[in-house]
Amino acid sequence: MKQIIIDITEEGEVKIETRGFTGKSCVEESRFLKELLGKELARQLTAAYYQVDGKTCVKKHLPLCG
């Protein structure tokens, strides 16, 4: 299930977490919340962000020398 989870502390700090999205849709889907609430200070991407249609897209760099 696609969910957006917003934690708001008693100090007024806001953290937004998206779950169940793949690819960049999470950023698009939660954009309205960021625009509503203020400025994005930091963003941490997770593994699902790099998935395309449910398939993990990972670039591997193999050490060829040394």
Partner 1 sequence: MSHVSKIELEINDLETLEAACASLGLQFVRNQKTYTWYGEYMGDTPLPEDFSANDLGKCDHAVRVPGATYEVGVVRKDGKYFLLWDFWRDGGLERALGPGAGKLKQAYAVERVKREARLKGYRVQQSKSVKGIRLVLSM
Could you say which of 42, 57, 64, 65 contacts partner 1 (CB under 8 A)? 42
Tokens linked to 39: 């400025």
20 binds partner 1 (CB under 8 A): yes
Q: Is residue 52 within the footprint of partner 1 (CB under 8 A)?
A: no
Is 46 a residue that touches partner 1 (CB under 8 A)? Answer: yes
Distance between CA atoms of residues 6 and 14, nearest Å: 7
3-state secondary structure of 15: strand
C-alpha distances in Å from residue 55, one per residue of 30, 40, 50? 22, 28, 9
28 binds partner 1 (CB under 8 A): no
Residues that bind partner 1 (CB under 8 A): 1-22, 25-27, 30, 32-34, 36-49
